[in-house]
Structure 1
Amino acid sequence: MSLRAKFTLLLSTVLLVIVANTFIIYLLDKEGQAKLETVIRTHDVLDESEKLYKQLINAETGQRGYLLTQDISYLTPYYSALDQVKEHFLNINKLTINNPEQKNTLALIDELISKKLAELALTVELVLQGTPSALERAKVVVLTNKGKQFMDQIRTQIELFQDTARAKLEQQDAEYQESKIFITRFVTMQIPLAIILLLFCAFYINSKLLKPLKLLIHITKQVEKGEKPKALTIDIHDEIGYLIKRFVRMSDIVYERTRKLNFQASHDHLTGVLNRTELKPALKHAINLCSEKNKLAVIFIDINKFKQLNDEYGHLIGDQILIETAKRITSSVRADDDVYRYGGDEFVIVTHNIAKSRFIDAMIDHLLECFNHPFMLEQHTINISISIGVALAPDHSTEYKQLLELADLAMYKSKRRPKKSYHIYQEGEKKE
């Protein structure tokens, strides 16, 4: 079986198990939510019935206060309580709409509440009339004690209604707790299975895919860094193993070709030093990093009378002079300095991390010493001298093109001063 088929089968099995378990848990949770909503609804019924009875008491309290004092301010809580009684009774009706047993009890409570409210309303209306006869009639209504009887009957019916609701709540809560326990047990039973399944998947995927991919990424990073991939023993006999083996072989070929192309693109084919194309980006980057404490120097070098030497000894000797000059310049600079062939018989050195400009003198003296000995080329002894111009960043400029021009200007200044083979650019100097 191929690796693709194995992974397809593995992922299909895992997906099927996940979907099945998710669906079962969804159904169980949905059932549990329905039971929880039933419990909450019964709680609300009990709460609303309690509030209903309290508002009846508040209405009666407001009525009694008004009857005793004829202070109209007592009617505000009275009327407010009446509104609350209606609201709470409507809420209870909505909550018990699907329960015939509770509906029957509520019908009786509704009848008793209507009688009680009628008794309250009658006494309030009589007192509002303000006549002695009306007040006497209100007193008679109160003394009949029917209002108390109505309240006692209402309280009894509400307590009966609440007892029935509490019994039902107890049963509903027990069913809900059982549902929760069952879901918890079911999920708990799935955990070991899920762990085993995940561990197996992780081990299989790591063995068949991740480890080979990690190896492939490691090889890729080596190639990206320009390194030659190390020799590897690859004991994988599937599509990934074949891919890695082919990739390693391809990486070796790419590395060798890239190495040759990079060298050819960045180095002068004759002297082996960096070419002019590399100078611009490297110099720009170096200027961005330089500072007053870590200066940058551009050293412009020209071989004196090279054209005459080339005409006198021929182009082959001229090429050898350029090669030897590049060798001597390269041997005189520090490891972190860069040497470029700028064009023809011109070379440029970019030196980094110079603390003070006066340190340039020592560097140039060392460079000139390398040319104190004549060139021995094909039985010819040739004395070669060079002219050197120096410009500093950030002292003279922080623009790469201008810095090269100033170094070139300083080099021409040194050519016109035979006693001194180098010159450091001074502010205000112009080309002669």
Structure 2
Amino acid sequence: MKDVETGQRGYLLTSNLSYLEPYHNGISQVKENLESLKSLTTSNPEQQKILDLVSKDISSKFKEMEQTIKLAQSNEKDKAIALVNQDIGKQYMDNIRRNLHEFTKTEQIFLEQRKGDFRENRAQITTLVTVEISFFVGLAIFTLLFLQRNFFVPLQLLVASTQLVERGKRLEVKNIVENNEMGHLLTTFFSMSEKVHHREKTLEYKAHHDELTGLKNRLSIYDELDSSIGDAKRYGDKLAVLFLDLNLFKHINDTLGHDVGDEVLKITADRLNDSVRSSDSVFRLGGDEFVVIVRNIKSAKDAEGVIQNILSAFEPPAMINGNAIDISTSIGVAVSPDNTTDSDELVKYADVAMYAAKQDKSTHFKSFREDMLNKKDDVA
């Protein structure tokens, strides 16, 4: 407020515009400090009420000062000085000082209350520390009393269990717990845990494997592809995705029945598993669509050995219910990183190549080319 008054009076006396800079800066600083005080005392309604009175007087003081400056700027300096001499602004300042004094007194009372709270909290903390020390001393005594039960008895059971294993006998949970109610409870809990774990493993297997063929399903393929693409990049290898679709499978289902169709799918899964290498993986996407991930190859041509093994495996007819049924497949091939390093695109490109192979009656497999995308769109 001093800066504001100094700027105002300096301007009124000299008409020097430079005095208006501290005047305007002072107003901004006063408003900023007032807002800060209001923010810091939101929890004290009494101080908030005092600050509202101060704010009102400050606004009135600023209006009075602004009026004098406007009069001076309008060449009515005498009126401006006369307005100052009326001491209206002094009354506002006296109100502001009185209210700020009350504000400070309230703050001191508040601080004294805080000090009292601090002393009370310190006493509570001292009591809590004393209780905690007593608790831990008691806990130490309790631990010493039960050390025999909690350490040496289990050690004896461990030695006895080791001797059972040395004699070639099967170790069960009841051999490593005491023969009492707690031991029975632990044994029962262990058995229940084993059953739950087995059930979880079974459910996890079913979630990621095709129920009919036992092959991995589409939930697994993209995780394995992402991992395999990363490994291939790390070791400088390539990998191929083979997308297989059985020819005339719908005809087999429609003429011979779905039971025969299911047998065809099972035989297909077995032949694929027998045709690929141990490093490769076979998936059933659904229906009569299968995918093979061929890993650890140096070029796209290296995948053709696996493809030829697959085609050879499908040459003999399948014997189902005494009937010889011919099974054939069309295969599309996409290679990473030659075609893409994105797992979704890799499967999509292999699917597009399979579609091209199915349209070309002169071959059973085709490798993906960019122009196949346009051809499939044209047909679609």
Report the TM-score, using the length of structure 1 for normalisation: 0.47
CA contact (8 A) 1:411 1:422 kept: yes
Structure 1 residues 247 and 207, CA, compared in 2 at 3 Å: closer, same or farther? farther
CA contact (8 A) 2:333 2:353 kept: yes
Write out the 4+ residue segments of structure 1 that deviate beyond 4 Å after TM superposition. 11-14, 200-204, 208-213
Paired residue secondary structure (2:350): helix
Q: Does 1:425 align with 2:356?
A: no
Q: Does 1:318 align with 2:258?
A: no
Q: Which residue of 2 aligns with 1:97?
A: none
CA distance in 2, matches of 1:211, 1:375: 62
Deviations 1:54-75 (A, max 9, x none): xxxxxxxxxxxxxxxxxxxxxx
Deviations 1:285-337 (A, max 9, x none): 22222227221211100001111121111111111111111111111112232
* Higher RCO (CA < 8 A, seq sep 6+): 1
Structure 1 residues 388 and 252, CA, compared in 2 at 3 Å: closer, same or farther? same
CA distance in 2, matches of 1:356, 1:389: 16
Listed as ranges, the matches of 1:30-429 within 5 Å are 205-207=150-152, 231-232=172-173, 233-237=175-179, 241-291=183-233, 293-429=236-372
Larger Rg over CA atoms: 1
Give the unaligned 5+ runs of structure 1: 1-10, 18-196, 214-228
Moved more, 421-430 or 378-387: 421-430
Give the unaligned 5+ runs of structure 2: 1-135, 159-169
One-letter amino acid matched to 1:256: H
CA contact (8 A) 1:293 1:356 kept: no
CA contact (8 A) 2:282 2:292 kept: yes
CA contact (8 A) 1:209 1:240 kept: no
CA contact (8 A) 2:244 2:354 kept: yes
One-letter amino acid matched to 1:290: A
Deviations 1:372-399 (A, max 9, x none): 1001011211111100011111221111
> Between Structure 1 and Structure 2, how many residues are aligned?
228
Structure 1 residues 283 and 404, CA, compared in 2 at 3 Å: closer, same or farther? same
Structure 1 residues 15 and 260, CA, compared in 2 at 3 Å: closer, same or farther? closer
CA contact (8 A) 1:387 1:415 kept: yes
CA distance in 1, matches of 2:237, 2:178: 53
Structure 1 residue 238: Cα displacement: 5.3
Structure 1 residues 212 and 406, CA, compared in 2 at 3 Å: closer, same or farther? farther
Structure 1 residue 282: Cα displacement: 2.2
CA contact (8 A) 2:356 2:372 kept: no
Structure 1 residue 423: Cα displacement: 1.2
CA contact (8 A) 2:177 2:186 kept: no
The alignment yields a C-alpha RMSD, in angstroms, of: 3.1
Structure 1 residues 296 and 207, CA, compared in 2 at 3 Å: closer, same or farther? farther
CA contact (8 A) 2:294 2:303 kept: no
Structure 1 residue 211: Cα displacement: 9.2
Deviations 1:342-380 (A, max 9, x none): 121100111222222221111110111100100101121
Identical residues among aligned pairs (%): 36
Structure 1 residues 14 and 319, CA, compared in 2 at 3 Å: closer, same or farther? closer
Structure 1 residues 204 and 377, CA, compared in 2 at 3 Å: closer, same or farther? same
CA distance in 1, matches of 2:228, 2:363: 28
